[in-house]
Amino acid sequence: MSGKVHLDGYLEVPPDRAATVTQALPDHIALTRAEPGCLAFDVTPSPSEPNRFLVSEVFADRVAFEAHQARAKASAWAEVTAGLPRHYTIRVEP
């Protein structure tokens, strides 16, 4: 089994979609934090870039991370954020 999986980066959200994304965010965060293997999950508006939401995730292992990805792709969050540019770096601890 792999070590912890870290995802860090940001989601670009244009002003015309910011309200919808912000409204959907609490449910997305709550559902993700309740997932088995989720050790940390934060999505916050960038203090310096108005069209960015900073994303930081830590999952116990690759299995938990991939389960999260599958759930998120089939969620309301995926619909709300469809087509938005994502700039993420994924790192797996040995």
Q: Give the pLDDT mean for 73-79.
A: 96
Res 1 pLDDT > 70? no
Q: Give the pLDDT mean for 68-83.
A: 97
Q: What is the pLDDT of residues 6-62, one digit of tens each?
A: 999 999 999 999 999 999 999 999 999 999 999 999 999 999 999 999 999 999 999
Domain range for 80 is 5-92
**Strand pairing class (38-45; 86-92):** unpaired
CATH of the domain at 31: 3.30.70.100
Q: What is the total count of domains within the chain?
A: 1
Of 14, 31, 16, which Cα lies nearest the Cα of 76?
A: 31
pLDDT at 91: 97
pLDDT at 24: 97
pLDDT at 2: 77
User: pTM value?
Assistant: 0.93
